[in-house]
Structure 1
Amino acid sequence: MENRGESQLQERLGRRLLFFPLPLQGHINPMLQLANILHSKGFSITIVHTKLNSPNPSNYPHFTFFLIDDGLSENSEASRNDIISLLTVLNVKCIEPFKQAMSELLADSSGDPIACLISDAILHFTTAVCKSLNLPRLVLRTGGVSSFLAFAAFPLLLEKGYLPVQDAKSAEPVKELPPLRIKDLPVITTSHPEKLYRLVEGMIQETKASSGLIWNSFEELEESSLVKLRQDFQIPIFPIGPFHKHFAASSSNLLAEDHSSISWLDKQAPNSVIYVSFGSIAAIEEKDFLEVAWGLAKSRHPFLWVVRPGLIHGAEWLEPLPEGFLESLDGKGHIVKWAPQLEVLAHPSVGAFWTHNGWNSTLESICEGVPMICTPCFTDQLVNARYVSHFWKVGVQLENGLSREKIEMVIKRVMEEKEGEEVRERVVHLQEKANLCVQPGGSSYESLKSLVNYISLF
């Protein structure tokens, strides 16, 4: 679908919205999708963004872009190796540049008056800046509601001794957060755990202090979590997802998509292919990479595998693969650096998605009715994988290390056995709900209408 220019909109609302995405792929995508949705409802859009992972303005000619200095240009690579340090630094170094940008934008009388800022929940410093300028701040949380509730429970989890996670107790249930076990809590390996706790505390506190909370989720998927959220957060809450079902956004991928994925899929049988992608941040050891390769080969199912440059510690790309590995597959394997994921998941040849369970990937798989094999890496992915495998039961989790034998067995469970058929039936049932919720009268359709009306009052 093409982006509609402002002149083609049925009704211009004469209000401008400012958006400030966190500069990571999984956060930029939903923020720009939300901007497209609200632009289609009549708002003008300005995207405030950092130098790090800057979006490409030429993909969004109908938006205005405003660059701020993030102070990361010299050491962004070092920070990126420790994601918690990067997020902590952003919340400090962006304060002054962001404040200056807000003042400039608010003083500019040439365009539509600014209604509010929509900020990523992790950029919690934006609360104080908006307060000082008397500008309403709404929050977009780009993960799921269920994982957010686990983050909100950190003080309780620390008090009860669930955190920090101890390996000896990791399989025990967290009674206060079913169906999670201790090992499913949304933590990340970091040399500074106190930074993680402070970052989460800032995100939760400043979300509670915001004028409203927007979700790329829907009532029918996370109903019980949304009930709990509304009890604990006394602010307006708008679950309007799945975003990509409202509006086909232009690509905001930071890596070039390889469309040979689609022509290769066209030659495969229906529901026969395993699509493998571990997202835009995770990195794995070379030994695990080789186990994945041999596990896929031994399964004898065709596979499309996204091997992002930087996925393998200490390797540029495919160098660790044994000589002749790809040739030995006899055309059954196709490896690319990045794939057009929505197109891939919608392709009739795809029978399962082996995923890291980032929220965008999890939601996209549900929306296309594709069963999942779950290998979460850190933070909310751990919660999402547990919900996929043990609450919604639309996937199977691969746990306790990667071995080719285990990988082959899990692929066969999902692709060939009765359990896989039952998983497919359940995910198709959820897919139907995802399609209905964005239709007139559906839960997300109505929630979006409420959001537009709410913002129009600012």
Structure 2
Amino acid sequence: MEKSNGLRVMLFPLPLQGCINPTIQLAKILHSRGFSITVIYTRFNAPKASSHPLFTFLEIQDGLSETETKTHDVTLLLTLLNRSCETPFRDCLTKLLQSADAETGEEKEKISCLIDDSGWIFTQPIAQSLNLPRLVLNTYKVSFFRNHFVLPQLRREMYLSLQDDSEQDDPVQEFPPLRKKDLLQILDKETEVLDSYSKMILETTKASSGIIFMSCEELDQDSLIQAREDFQVPIFAIGPSHSYFPGSSSSLFKVDETCIPWLDKQEDKSVIYVSFGSVNTINEAEFMEIAWGLRNSNQPFLWVVRLSSVVHGTEWIEAIPKKFIEMLHEKGKIVNWCPQEDVLKHRAIGGFLTHNGWNSTVESICASVPMICLPFQWDQLLNARFVSDIWMVGMHLEGRIEKNVIEGAIRRLLLGTEGEAIRERMELLKVNVGRSLKPKGSAYRSLQHLIDYISSFNL
């Protein structure tokens, strides 16, 4: 950490793995630049405070029942959290500001601003009432965030026409580079509750003091130009946050460290890494198709299967016959969770079968690992299109969870000439993104502007 600048930043992550990681990474970045850090968090999916002894952690009640914490409906979960956390958060923030005002002497610190996730829709009016600047941390790709606000209109105007099977592969002009089948999948699963929620996100983001994106010009140039016009607030695209402090993820799951020694025994670029994130689920039939696809590819694989990620089963993979699991382990390794950044950077990894969450997509790019895209929902569908259709650094399964399709994609990626071309393009993309983080690079400059901006709140 640089010498303390006497300023404290408050951070408030959404309690989802894909939101906690970038928030803690941003906290580390700001702390390294002299800011003191306070993280306000919910009891549900609480980050591990002991892993970050230099930060102050404050817990607030989230009001969730045990049943509600187990829901797979993310929209419902976020709606419940926004309803129940407002009063506890207001009380916590008010006390912090009062305590800061009461401090005397040379050690007095000023609270500079609040940085929280765009999914918290009650924090903007609270911060405004307390005269505290609020910056929005956004964990989506810029192009998804700015375009997803058109979804309610598309639901009203296009939903029926999208169901024409002959047009499923046609592009969606209002939401590039999505295809109509992608958009139908998004609109099919989401509800009017989400439309109302998105409207509030738009309004509170426009009223904020600025937006922070974990992206860069090299990944989102056109969208950043458009976003600055749309929101009319300062925007900071500071690049892949994990690149500043590699291996500093804040996992909510117990990590199986045995996967690294296992990878050490494998040949270079021979292993297919498989993970579908912290939220997505598959059923038993899909599990078996993926398992056979991996086994039949005859390539070593490292497969993350979270507890409860296989629905309609018993617990984890205990429902699968032991002989079948033993057969899988002859060629691969199955773990509950793993240190993904370390895995992707390992010399043995040759490809990533992924759900294309933004964090996973960017981590794969930074490690120069080509992808096989199997998006499940929401922004994953757009990220996958960028990977396969725009940057051309991966292959798209087009939703086909079939053993022959998966086997074929793995073989083409790891053993074929198509895979060689993809790896070359991925290496170029990695270099360009890496350049943005170096002095004079776009993300480097944007981060410096962010530091100056936060510091200016107390001048």
What range is the shorter-chain TM-score in? over 0.9
Q: For residue 133 of structure 1, what is the amino acid of its counterpart?
A: L
Match of 1:279 in 2: 277
3-state SS, counterpart of residue 419 of structure 1: helix
1:252-295 CA-partner distances (Å, limit 9, x unpaired): 10111111110010001100000000111111010000000000
Q: Deviations over 1:23-63 (max 9, x none)?
A: 00110000100011011011010001101001111111110
Answering whether residue 374 of structure 2 is matched by residue 382 of structure 1, we say: no
Q: 2:119 aligns with which of 119, 122, 131?
A: 122
Residues 146/164 of structure 1: CA separation in 2 closer, same or farther (3 Å cut): farther
Contact 2:374/2:399 (<8 A) preserved: no
Alignment of 1:376-415 (within 5 A): 376-415=375-414
Task: Specify which of 31, 42, 53 is matched with residue 50 of structure 1.
Answer: 42
What pairs up with 1:61-100 in 2 under 5 angstroms?
Answer: 61-78=53-70, 80-100=71-91
User: What TM-score results when the alignment is normalised by the length of structure 1?
Assistant: 0.94
In the alignment, is the contact (CA less than 8 A) between 1:374 and 1:396 conserved in 2? yes
> Conserved in 2, the CA contact under 8 Å of 1:218 and 1:444?
yes
For the pair 1:39 / 2:31, whether they are aligned, the reply is yes
Tell me the residue number matched to 1:355. Answer: 354
Find 2:93's aligned residue among 102, 112, 115. Answer: 102
SS at match of 2:219: coil
What is the number of equivalent residue pairs in this alignment? Answer: 448
Structure 1 residue corresponding to 2:251, chosen from 250, 253, 261:
253
Aligned pair partner of 2:4 in 8, 12, 24:
12
Do the aligned partners of 1:28 and 1:252 also contact (CA within 8 Å) in 2? yes
User: Residue 181 of structure 1: CA displacement?
Assistant: 1.0
Give 1:67 shift. Answer: 0.8
1:162/1:146 CA distance change after superposition, 3 Å: farther
Letter in 2 for 1:312: V
Give the aligned residue type for 2:384. Answer: A
Counterpart secondary structure, 2:274 = strand
Letter in 1 for 2:193: K
The Cα offsets for residues 220-273 of structure 1, whole Å up to 9 and x where unpaired, read as 111122122122121100000211111236441011111111001000110000
Unaligned runs of 5+ in 1: 1-8
Amino acid in structure 2 at the alignment position of 1:388:
V
Q: Give the TM-score normalised by structure 2.
A: 0.94
How far 1:410 moved relative to its partner?
Answer: 1.1
Q: Distance in 1 between matches of 2:368 and 2:397?
A: 20
Residues 1:24 and 1:417: Cα distance change in structure 2 (over 3 Å): same
SS for the counterpart of 1:187 is helix
Tell whether the 8 Å contact from 1:18 to 1:48 is kept in structure 2 after alignment. yes
- From 233, 236, 239, give the equivalent of 2:234: 236
Q: 1:319-346: CA deviations, max 9, x gaps?
A: 2434422433573211110011000000
Aligned pair in 2 of structure 1 residues 436, 398: CA closer, same or farther (>3 Å)?
A: same
Q: Deviations over 1:63-100 (max 9, x none)?
A: 0011111111444335x222111111111111111111
Aligned-residue CA RMSD (Å): 1.8
Once the two structures are superposed, residues 298-336 of structure 1 have per-residue CA deviations (whole angstroms, 9 ceiling, x without a partner) of: 000000000111110022111243442243357321111
Gaps of 5+ in 2: none
SS at match of 1:18: strand
Q: How does 1:129-148 map to 2 (within 5 A)?
A: 129-148=126-145
One-letter amino acid of the structure 1 residue matched with residue 295 of structure 2: A
- The CA distance in 2 between the partners of 1:163 and 1:218, in whole Å, is 36
Contact 1:304–1:333 (CA<8 Å) still a contact in 2? yes
Partner of 1:6: none
> Residue type matched to 1:132 in 2?
S
CA distance in 2, matches of 1:225, 1:313: 37
- Cα contact 1:11–1:42 (8 A) shared by 2: yes
User: Partner amino acid for 1:64?
Assistant: T
Residue pairs, 1:287-436, within 5 angstroms: 287-315=285-313, 316-329=315-328, 331-436=330-435
Which 10-residue stretch deviates more, 401-410 or 364-373?
401-410
SS in structure 1 at match of 2:302: strand
Secondary structure in 2 aligned to 1:434? helix
Where 1:275 maps in the other structure, the secondary structure is strand
Question: For residues 436 and 125 of structure 1, do their structure 2 counterparts lie closer, same or farther at Cα, with a shift above 3 Å needed?
Answer: same
Displacement after TM superposition at 1:170 (Å): 4.2
Aligned-partner residue type, residue 47 of structure 2: P
CA, structure 1 residues 337+396, in 2 after alignment: closer, same or farther (shift >3 Å)? same
Query: Which segment is superposed worse, 370-379 or 10-19?
Result: 10-19
Query: What amino acid sits opposite 1:253 in the alignment?
Result: S
1:448 paired to 2:447: yes
State the distance in 1 between where 2:162 and 2:126 align: 35
Question: Structure 1 residues 263, 408: CA separation in 2 closer, same or farther (over 3 Å shift)?
Answer: same
SS of the residue aligned with 1:253? coil
SS in 1 for 2:375: coil
CA distance in 2, matches of 1:322, 1:194: 42
| Percentage of matched positions with identical amino acids | 49
